[in-house]
């Protein structure tokens, strides 16, 4: 039996807002606090975790369980590890998706895990429904950019979470302003959208992450921003992790059940 104390998906209705970036950096930030952390890439159609973590290989143990690679203190898996050619497209219908996602939880030798972060694909489709039905989720982290077109999709995602009885732990406003080298701030994707959404839903605003080329570069070269300890790009992710720890801790004390995987 493997126990995952908290399973937390990182979601958004919209693509490209930074779910994978937040999921990867959050997972590492949580591991930096000494916790046992797993990261599951559930974006089967556009897996990003292998790139963000600079690759990785799955091994098989004597019980035919899969041993996940571990880096930056995080154990992680992605469907991309099982594709013969990383550029292959995955063409699946719901039931196959369901089975594959289940296997990433059950057939992997995770050991006991404090926090399992799940990087979700955009939207409110098969992945979201499967995950909500399959596991006991502690709540979701919702990522948005400040602009209305992102917020509109995010509201849909939040409405779906409500229907599936999944709590929103809070909102992360990503790409929330670019600070130019001369120190001036440019709100490239608008401003205040995440704040307004959090207020309206009465959920915490967990972080406002800057738009910073170093965050993208870190992801592209497989060394996420959080690993640059003490820098202006790692600090917001550390703060985000601490806020999430606090919220989950309260939930544990209020009697929330832990998830048993297999
Ligand atoms: N705060 C940021 N500053 C600069 N670049 C960022 C920031 N957040 C994300 N990016 C970049 O934006 C792009 C999209 O981010 P990411 O892949 O994390 O989004 P996503 O929501 O997971 O996308 P998808 O919906 O395709 O899964 C990536 O190139 C990433 O490096
Ligand atoms: Mg992604």
In this predicted model, what pLDDT tens digit does every residue of 167-199 receive, in sequence order? 999 999 999 888 888 888 888 887 788 888 898
Give the span between the Cα atoms of 122 and 143, in whole angstroms.
10
Helix (H, G, I), strand (E, B) or coil at 71: strand
Least confident of 176-180, 209-213, 258-262: 258-262
On whether residue 106 sits in a domain, the answer given is yes
Give the span between the Cα atoms of 90 and 112, in whole angstroms.
30
pLDDT in tens, 135-172: 999 999 999 998 887 788 888 889 999 999 999 999 99
Please state the pTM of the whole predicted model: 0.94
Tell me what pLDDT residue 234 has: 95
On whether residue 191 sits in a domain, the answer given is no
Alpha carbon distances (Å) from 48 to 39, 221, 237: 12, 12, 18
Compute the radius of gyration of the chain from its Cα atoms: 17
Residue 174 has phi, psi (to 5 degrees) of -105, 160
Tell me what pLDDT residue 44 has: 86
Q: What is the mean pLDDT of residues 210-229?
A: 94
Please say if the pLDDT value at position 262 is more than 70: no
Q: What is the mean pLDDT of residues 111-122?
A: 95
Do 2 and 110 contact (CB within 8 A), yes or no?
A: yes
Name the residue range of residue 95's domain. 2-141+212-261
Pocket lining: 43 vs ligand 1, CB cutoff 6 Å: yes
Tell me what pLDDT residue 126 has: 84
On whether residue 181 sits in a domain, the answer given is no
On whether residue 21 sits in a domain, the answer given is yes
Write the burial class of residue 52 (CB in 10 Å: 0-12 exposed, 13-18 middle, 19+ buried): buried
Please say if the pLDDT value at position 62 is more than 70: yes
On whether residue 86 sits in a domain, the answer given is yes
Q: Which of 47-56, 76-85, 128-137, 251-260 has the highest mean pLDDT?
A: 47-56
- Assign 119 a pLDDT band (cuts: 50, 70, 90): very high
On whether residue 6 sits in a domain, the answer given is yes
Residue closest by Cα to atom 5 of ligand 1: 216
Tell me what pLDDT residue 192 has: 83
Other beta carbons within 10 angstroms of residue 63's beta carbon come to: 6
CB-based burial, 127-166: b 16+ in 10 Å, e otherwise: bbbbbbebbebbbbbbbbbbbeebbebbbebbebbeeeeb
Pocket lining: 16 vs ligand 1, CB cutoff 6 Å: yes
Q: What is the mean pLDDT of residues 63-81?
A: 94
Do 240 and 29 contact (CB within 8 A), yes or no?
A: yes
Residue in 108, 114, 118 with CA at minimum distance from that of residue 73: 114
User: Is 13 or 259 the better-scoring residue by pLDDT?
Assistant: 13
- With a pLDDT cut of 70, the percent of the chain lying above it is 97
Please say if the pLDDT value at position 17 is more than 90: yes
Please say if the pLDDT value at position 221 is more than 90: yes
CA of 16 to the centre of ligand 1 (A): 5
Angle at 224 between CA 218 and CA 226, to 5 degrees: 120
Pocket lining: 48 vs ligand 1, CB cutoff 6 Å: yes
On whether residue 61 sits in a domain, the answer given is yes
**CATH code: domain of residue 120:** 3.40.50.300
For the chain, give the mean pLDDT. Answer: 90
On whether residue 173 sits in a domain, the answer given is no
Beta bridge pairs of residue 6: 115
Residue closest by Cα to atom 1 of ligand 1: 211
Residue 230 has phi, psi (to 5 degrees) of 80, 0
Helix (H, G, I), strand (E, B) or coil at 225: helix
Can you say whether the dihedral through the CA atoms of 3, 129, 245, 77 is positive or negative? positive
Residue in 87, 3, 8 with CA at minimum distance from that of residue 248: 8
- With a pLDDT cut of 90, the percent of the chain lying above it is 61
How many distinct structural domains can be found in the chain?
A: 1
Beta bridge pairs of residue 128: none
Pocket probe mutation, ligand 1, options 9, 12, 20, 90, max atoms within 8 Å of Cβ: 20
Tell me what pLDDT residue 153 has: 86
């Amino acid at each position: 039996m493997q126990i995952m104390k908290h399973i937390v998906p990182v979601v958004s209705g919209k693509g490209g807002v930074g779910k994978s970036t937040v999921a990867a950096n959050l997972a590492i930030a949580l591991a930096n606090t000494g916790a046992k952390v797993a990261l599951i890439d559930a974006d089967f159609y556009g897996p990003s975790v292998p790139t963000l973590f600079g690759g990785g290989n799955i091994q098989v143990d004597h019980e035919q369980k899969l041993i996940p690679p571990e880096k930056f203190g995080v154990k992680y898996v992605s469907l991309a590890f099982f594709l013969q050619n990383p550029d292959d497209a995955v063409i699946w219908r719901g039931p196959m998706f369901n089975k594959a996602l289940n296997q990433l939880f059950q057939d992997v030798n995770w050991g006991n895990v404090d926090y399992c972060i799940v990087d979700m694909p955009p939207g409110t489709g098969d992945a979201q429904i499967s995950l909500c039905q399959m596991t006991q989720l502690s709540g979701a982290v919702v990522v948005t950019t400040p602009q209305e077109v992102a917020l509109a999709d995010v509201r849909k995602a939040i409405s779906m979470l409500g229907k599936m009885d999944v709590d929103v732990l809070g909102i992360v406003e990503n790409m929330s302003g670019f600070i130019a080298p001369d120190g001036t701030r440019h709100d490239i994707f608008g401003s205040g959208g995440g704040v307004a959404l959090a207020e309206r839903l009465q959920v915490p605003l967990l972080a406002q992450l800057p738009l910073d080329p170093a965050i993208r570069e870190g992801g592209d070269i497989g060394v996420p921003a959080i690993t640059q300890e003490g820098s202006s790009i790692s600090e917001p992710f550390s703060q985000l992790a601490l806020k999430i720890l606090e919220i989950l801790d309260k939930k544990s004390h209020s009697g929330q059940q832990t998830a048993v995987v297999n």
